Structure 1
Amino acid sequence: MHFSTYFLRKWEAELPQHNLDLPYPEGRTGRYVKFSNQIIKLGWNNVFNEVLMNAHLAYESKRAYVFQDYVWKGEYYSWARFEFLDRPPRTPLNAIISGPAAGGPWDAGDDAPRSISERWFEVVCPAKERRIINTRDIKPAIQWSMGDEIFETWRKLLLDAPEPCIEVVAPEEDRDGYVQTFDLYLWGSNRILPLWESFSKSPVSRLLGNSRIVSNPYERMLAMHVRRGDYKDACLDLAAWNSTFYSWNLLEFLPDHFEAGPGGGWGWNTPENTEKYLKHCLPSLDAIVQKVKVSKEDYIRAGLGNRTLDALYLLTNDESKWMDQLKDALRQDGWNTIRTSRDLTLDQEQTDVSMAVDMDIARRAAVFIGNGWSSFTSNIVHRRLVDGKEPISIRFY
């Protein structure tokens, strides 16, 4: 075990709320909720959405949220991945984020119970003392409701429940596979938007920070999410299902929006619409260069000329010669300093938090260009808006 991993495990174990003698609503008489139905072995940002919203729900339900390790999907983990088929790699949550969702303090004077680790949950809430709530008993009635209705249903249930220890679990077999409290069908639709006002102002969002082991990003930068690799198939699927932008990327006050043309249905689309999806979801080299140019001009114009953008950071999973061609085209368009995710030299432990490094660079960059269908982009949008970044600094292809 690396030193910082050991340090973080020790730090989490010694959180001050991990004390049975604390007064209500913490300690042995406290109120807790663990979402064992949280998704695992998927990309970090699909997990991150859920971590934050579940923590917000716990806060509004006056219960301590139980935070859990990030469990990697094998093929997303670049170190010794085949050794972990039965025991997937885990990263402490505090290696990726900090704040109340990961056990950090609330605002001064806030008497909400602090989040606890899943290890401490086993101590303060032994299995025999837990009330188990299965999502199959709650979700069918609200599956397609608006986000605020779904949230309120769960909030009232957790708030009114007299049991101090609650564990939300998924059915062993589920027909659609999306057993989360806030599932992909919600995140991938405009039904999530009624939650923005409360979620963005929640201390879960306001006090969200970076892990102490994540480095600081550059300034005077335009950061851009350039997802390639396997994304063409994903874009074709999005077109086939007429998918909207994802989650907070749908906010109406942001400058760029996507509307598919007429035609298409549930599971199919017209050739014209499919081409339109690909144009925005998997843009060409020339389209990317043009989007960077326009986004820079719009941002500088909004600041009345008192702004400078002279560094470009590309958040990407592309390892092909196409990326070299893109960088050459961007240099020809005036960008002399260009770096990508692939320029980072990472050991095993740093690889564990590489997505947090990329996210923090994009969060702090002066301008960010993202992919509207991406959960990664959506989480960056959330953090930038909570930080007070201008909408003109948040763009989509």
Structure 2
Amino acid sequence: MQYRNYLASPSSWRLLRLFLAFIVASSLLISYLFLKSRPSYALYTILAKHEISESRRFIHNSPDNKYVLFKQLQGAGFNNQAQEILLFHHLAWLTSRVYVYQPIIWRPRGSQATVPLSAFMPGVTRNSISAAVFNEACSPEETKRIKVRVNNGVLWEYTKQQLNGREKCIVVEDWILNWNFLASAALHDIWPEFQKYLSKYFQWSDPIRAIAARAHNHLNLRESLSNPDGEPYIALHFRRGDFEGHCQSLAEHYTGFTTWATLPSLDPSTYPPTLTTANQTSVIEHCYPTLHRIVEIIDAQVRDKPHLRTIHVLHDGAWDHPLVYAQHYRLEATLTNAARAKRAGWVGGPMRRVTHSGQVPIRWGEADWAVMVDVELARRAEVFIGNGYSSLSTQVVALRLGADGGRVEDITLL
């Protein structure tokens, strides 16, 4: 009775209304900040229209071209989509076909939100055509539809044979670059040519390069070994967030590293003990390493390169993953502890600076490019410590070794 009387009192209803008003106002503020932080749809509309006009011009000027349209992964993380797009573009290039590109399905904006590919990787869209005008280049009578149903060991070469046919247009109807293929040894034979492809075709968009340059300057990080400005640094991909549950699932399925982390040349780069996929504990150790293991790996790098006293941490901390920040600050406290550094055999003292993703100077309207900037900062680091189960880390590995001609010795996989 007293409880009901309390709820019925004017003061309690007033407090309830104030609480509800606070919730509504907070939701509106969060929505406003979220929307304002991302590029406008007007910009993307302009880019999409430009893609179409350039595609039509290309079709008109090159009537004898042959085309290929693939079924692509949609809605996964950016680097999952990007690595597949690059491989498909490479496959089209190898078979003298024009790649028919599709927009990125950008999950941060919603499950079906699309963003023009040129907003991220304009190198792929150059001398390619948008799927929006595919029917203008290829009539149904000129189009052959195929399905590639072969095992991973012969999939790449078999697909090349199919695309080398005389048909003007080919549509590959099944998803050929599936997870099993991307984690298989079949990818190793592709690597030598793919390295050349990356050095020739890979390019970030102007906004991504501008933000990365601003970040190097703002955080005083050296952009390359040949650039004297800024401090040389280690980049650490600290993959946390929702990865713990994902790693548990990978362990239950006895899954190994993905894509370019499986290259035999990178075997010495995997920090011991060696990954044993038959052992679930081993999978977890490499996929979701403890802070102690991560610090051990940093110790090894700093003992080998005592001039490195700055580390940049790429992390996925966010409002829905707040514990990532707590783990990051524990890591920072450990790395900047002078007594611990001395015990670990560091010459020259502890880390002087620990920067991280949250300090990258992302301005209003730039949030869609934050992930790519993380990749670029890791790509330019003197040393990269990454996660062989992460598509972001393996994308960094591909760019360092492929597009930049970097050294395997400067990469460590957790």
- TM-score normalised by length of structure 2: 0.75
How far is 1:32 from its partner?
0.7
> Take 2:203 and 2:235, find their aligned partners in 1: how far apart are those partners?
19
> Take 2:55 and 2:81, find their aligned partners in 1: how far apart are those partners?
26
Q: Indicate the residue corresponding to 1:57 in structure 2.
A: 91
> Take 1:32 and 1:72, find their aligned partners in 2: how far apart are those partners?
25
How far is 1:158 from its partner?
0.9
> Take 1:335 and 1:312, find their aligned partners in 2: how far apart are those partners?
7
2:384 alignment partner, SS class: strand
8 Å contact kept, 1:189–1:245: no
- Answer 1 or 2: which has greater helix percent: 2
> Take 1:370 and 1:348, find their aligned partners in 2: how far apart are those partners?
29
Cα 1:230–1:16 shift into 2, 3 Å: closer
Q: Indicate the residue corresponding to 1:102 in structure 2.
A: 125
Q: Indicate the residue corresponding to 2:6 in structure 1.
A: none
Q: Indicate the residue corresponding to 1:392 in structure 2.
A: 409
1:213 alignment partner, SS class: helix
Q: Indicate the residue corresponding to 1:326 in structure 2.
A: 331
Q: Indicate the residue corresponding to 1:267 in structure 2.
A: none
8 Å contact kept, 1:65–1:116: yes
8 Å contact kept, 1:52–1:205: no
1:141-290 matches, within 5 Å, as 142-143=150-151, 145-146=152-153, 149-160=154-165, 162-170=166-174, 180-202=175-197, 204-214=198-208, 215=211, 216=213, 217=216, 218-219=221-222, 220-254=232-266, 255-257=268-270, 259-261=274-276, 264=278, 273-290=279-296
Q: Which runs of 5+ in 2 are unaligned?
A: 1-39, 223-231, 342-349
> Take 2:395 and 2:263, find their aligned partners in 1: how far apart are those partners?
13
> Take 1:369 and 1:383, find their aligned partners in 2: how far apart are those partners?
14
8 Å contact kept, 2:56–2:133: no
AA matched with 1:249: A
Q: Deviations over 1:283-338 (max 9, x none)?
A: 1222212211212333x2xxxx7xx4333221111332222211222222422322
Moved more, 374-383 or 325-334: 325-334
Cα 1:342–1:164 shift into 2, 3 Å: same
Q: Deviations over 1:123-176 (max 9, x none)?
A: 22245642222x3xx22xx22x32xx211111111111x221222223xxxxxx
Q: Indicate the residue corresponding to 1:177 in structure 2.
A: none
8 Å contact kept, 1:281–1:371: yes
8 Å contact kept, 2:55–2:128: no
8 Å contact kept, 1:18–1:120: no
- TM-score normalised by length of structure 1: 0.78
Q: Establish whether residue 33 from structure 1 lines up as the match of residue 68 from structure 2.
A: yes
Cα 1:243–1:16 shift into 2, 3 Å: closer
2:82 alignment partner, SS class: helix
Q: Establish whether residue 120 from structure 1 lines up as the match of residue 114 from structure 2.
A: no
Cα 1:310–1:94 shift into 2, 3 Å: farther
Q: Which runs of 5+ in 1 are unaligned?
A: 104-113, 171-179, 265-272
1:39 alignment partner, SS class: coil
How far is 1:213 from its partner?
0.9
C-alpha RMSD over aligned residues? 2.4
> Take 1:17 and 1:201, find their aligned partners in 2: how far apart are those partners?
28
Query: Percent of aligned positions with the same letter in both sequences?
Result: 27
Cα 1:349–1:155 shift into 2, 3 Å: farther
8 Å contact kept, 2:247–2:288: yes
8 Å contact kept, 1:225–1:377: yes
1:182 alignment partner, SS class: coil
How far is 1:207 from its partner?
2.6
Correspondence for 1:48 among 82, 91, 94: 82
8 Å contact kept, 1:242–1:260: no
How far is 1:13 from its partner?
3.4
Cα 1:54–1:348 shift into 2, 3 Å: farther
How far is 1:205 from its partner?
4.6
> Take 1:210 and 1:17, find their aligned partners in 2: how far apart are those partners?
23
1:366-385 matches, within 5 Å, as 366-385=382-401
2:164 alignment partner, SS class: helix
> Take 2:239 and 2:256, find their aligned partners in 1: how far apart are those partners?
18
> Take 2:275 and 2:52, find their aligned partners in 1: how far apart are those partners?
50
How far is 1:391 from its partner?
0.9
8 Å contact kept, 1:2–1:349: no
2:255 alignment partner, SS class: coil
How far is 1:2 from its partner?
4.9
8 Å contact kept, 2:117–2:125: yes
8 Å contact kept, 1:49–1:379: yes
How far is 1:249 from its partner?
0.8
Cα 1:152–1:261 shift into 2, 3 Å: closer
How far is 1:275 from its partner?
2.5
AA matched with 1:34: L
> Take 2:276 and 2:371, find their aligned partners in 1: how far apart are those partners?
34
> Take 2:60 and 2:251, find their aligned partners in 1: how far apart are those partners?
55
Q: Indicate the residue corresponding to 2:106 in structure 1.
A: 72
2:241 alignment partner, SS class: coil
Correspondence for 2:376 among 351, 357, 360: 360
1:210 alignment partner, SS class: coil
1:373 alignment partner, SS class: coil
2:237 alignment partner, SS class: strand
AA matched with 2:125: A
